[in-house]
Structures are given as C-alpha cells and as structure tokens.
Amino acid sequence: MDILQPPGWARPRGYSNGIAARGRTVCVSGMIGWDAQGQFHTDDFAGQTRQALQNIVEVLAEARAKPEHIVRMTWYITDKKEYIAAYKEIGAAYRELIGKHYPTMTAVQVSALIEDRAKVEIEVTAIVPDEA
C-alpha cells in the first residue's frame, strides 16, 4: 500500500489524500452504532461511532482483513456540530480499534439515516495484499 502525498501539499490530519494498493478487495457496507443483534446501547455520537468501528473490524475479520488494509472510509453523519464536538472521543476510539492507520476519508452530513436512532454510518473499502 502506498500513501499518495503530492510534493508541497500540507499533510492531512486523520486521513490520507490518496492510497494505491493491489490485492483482494473487501467492501463493507455502511455500519452504524448498533451491536451484532441490531440493538443500540447509546444515543451518544462517540459511543455510536465506537460501535460502528467495532462492527467494521469484525466484518473485516471475516475476510481475513485487518484495519490496516482499509483504503477508503466514507462517514455519513447526521449532525456536523455533534461530530466535531466528539472529535476527542472519536479519535480515541479510532486509534484503539483502527490504530494509527489513516486511509482516504470523506465525511458527509446527511439529513437522516435509515435507522432513526443512528447518528453515524461508516462504509469502508479494504484491499488485502495478495501475500497476506
């Protein structure tokens, strides 16, 4: 996996501008902040984000993929201000579950998600190297 950082560009914080990778592609549909049985345990933004990230890690494991294989994340959030206010807690959960790997990322505020209690939905693409 190669991180793409054009010369002279400021280094982004918490994501990469681009990644080039070769291997088996693993796509994970949007994960929200409920558990494996479809139950929410919190309405807290950071808590739902932690659960969504945990769900992603568990789905990746089914494909023998790890968080460091993630090349793209798309975050759909229902409230930009709540997201920004939870940066510190989200960052801690991210580092605990994903590590210090920062793939390409996009965050988009949406008016609602299909599940009414959901505050965040995260979709990922991972590429597992052929030798892994």
Sheet of 70-77, strands arranged across: 24-31, 120-128, 70-77, 104-109
Q: pLDDT confidence of 14, banded at 50, 70, 90? A: confident
Domain boundaries along the sequence of the chain: 27-128
Asked if the model's pLDDT at residue 85 lies above 80, the reply is: yes
pTM of the model: 0.93
Q: Please provide the average confidence, as pLDDT, over all residues in the chain.
A: 96
The pLDDT of residue 132 = 58
Per the CB < 8 A criterion, the answer to whether 15 and 105 are in contact is: yes
According to CATH, the topology of domain 27-128 is: 60s Ribosomal Protein L30; Chain: A; (3.30.1330)
Q: Dump pLDDT digits (tens) for 61-70.
A: 999 999 999 9
